[in-house]
Amino acid sequence: MPFGQTCPYVESAPRRLATNRCSLATVHSAYTLPVLRYFIFWFGFRVLGRLPLPLLYGIAEIVGWAGYTLTPAARRNVWDNLRHVMPDAPKSRLRQTAKAVFRSVGYYYADLAQLPRMDVNQFLRERLIYTGIEEHIRPNIEKGRGVVMLSAHIGSAEMAGQGLIPLNIPCFAVTEPVKPARLSRMLNSIRSTHGVEFMPVGVRSAKRIMRILRDGGTVALMGDRDISGPKMLLPFFGEETWMPTGPVEVALRTGAAIVPSFAARRGRYVIDADAEPPIEIERTDDLQADVRTAMLEYISRLEARLRAEPEQWLVLERIWDAEGREPQPAAEPEEAAV
């Protein structure tokens, strides 16, 4: 053995030990983090959810501040999204808006925590302002035509959907699965308290959506963030990114009306929901071309909403991160600073 060369086995033994320790730590983390996440949410929903709503909103504001301060990755994502929506805004305005996004996310979870104890009829009378239901949704239902309420993560779309129940409009919606699976089940059980049906996105929920629409029912789907399923590279605020096309495609396949529907929060308590006129396109023999045409119309309406109220966009993931393209540079530390 040449001088200065270490025996391969002696050299690799510590490395193998370190690798094994790392693997064990990874396995331990993969198990404990989802469990910890579940119990944090369980405590928030089952315990804090019993508090009066004003106090719960106060806690939500603290949690939103902590989220902005302590999660730099999410903060950078929000900054990046807002730069596309507000390209000419000064850094002070971007920072103020980003903090408002995190605060509104806190309000969303506070509403969700209180949902099982909420009087949905009182919510409809006192906290929900809605327009367009009688003009653009109910007439299609009465004609036996399915409706896709194509929404976005703006304001509090889920709370607005709860108001459909006392209006005698049954609704089905899908959610993004989270880990552990029992957390997904708990969240969807809470969301379904008053009659809106929620199911994780997947094959089963896709089949259910098709059946509901063919039977003339109503589904609420999100169109502003690519999670899974069909997608298309489309211009959004002047830059292409992947956008989900499943909601539009299923509507075109079943003949359902596509009704862009958005909900904005007014202050702490009031939800302002608006069902817009349906997207009408001239159908061709090219389904994908038709999907693109309808999506461009939806994106145009979504952009108008976000330009008017960018602080209402509750997306903590980076939107402009298309596959096959160089990712957008992360924010400089001073730009996304607390």
Half-sphere exposure of 276 (CA within 13 A, CB side): 16
Residue 210: exposure state from Cβ atoms within 10 A (0-12, 13-18, ≥19): middle
Give pLDDT tens digits for 192-239: 999 999 999 999 999 999 999 999 999 999 999 987 789 999 999 999
- Between 177 and 336, residue with greater pLDDT: 177
- Between 291 and 11, residue with greater pLDDT: 291
pLDDT at residue 18 tops 50: no
Instruction: Say which range, 8-17, 25-34, 131-140, 280-289, has the weakest mean pLDDT.
Output: 8-17
Buried b (16+ CB within 10 A) or exposed e, 305-317: bbeebbbbbbbbe
Query: In this structure, is the dihedral angle defined by the CA atoms of residues 271, 115, 172 and 143, taken in order, positive or negative?
Result: negative
CA distance 294 to 274: 19
Under DSSP, the state recorded for 194 is: T
Three-state DSSP state, 276: coil
pLDDT at 179: 86
The amino acid occupying position 143 is: K
The angle subtended at Cα 217 by Cα 289 and Cα 279, nearest 5°, is 35
Structure tokens at 225: 């963030």
pLDDT at residue 28 tops 60: no
Question: Tokens 């270490």 belong to which residue?
Answer: 6
pLDDT at 30: 56
Question: Is the peptide bond prior to 180 cis by the omega test (within 30 degrees of 0)?
Answer: yes
pLDDT at residue 96 tops 60: yes
- Alpha helices (runs of H) in the chain, residue ranges in sequence order: 8-46, 53-70, 72-85, 91-114, 120-126, 138-142, 157-162, 181-191, 203-214, 246-254, 287-308
pLDDT at 3: 37
pLDDT at 229: 83
Yes or no: say if 238 and 294 are a contact pair by the CB < 8 Å rule: no
Give pLDDT tens digits for 82-91: 999 999 999 9
Of 181, 174, 182, nearest to 201 by C-alpha is 174
pLDDT at residue 136 tops 80: yes
Give pLDDT tens digits for 54-83: 999 999 999 999 999 999 999 999 999 999
pLDDT at 194: 95
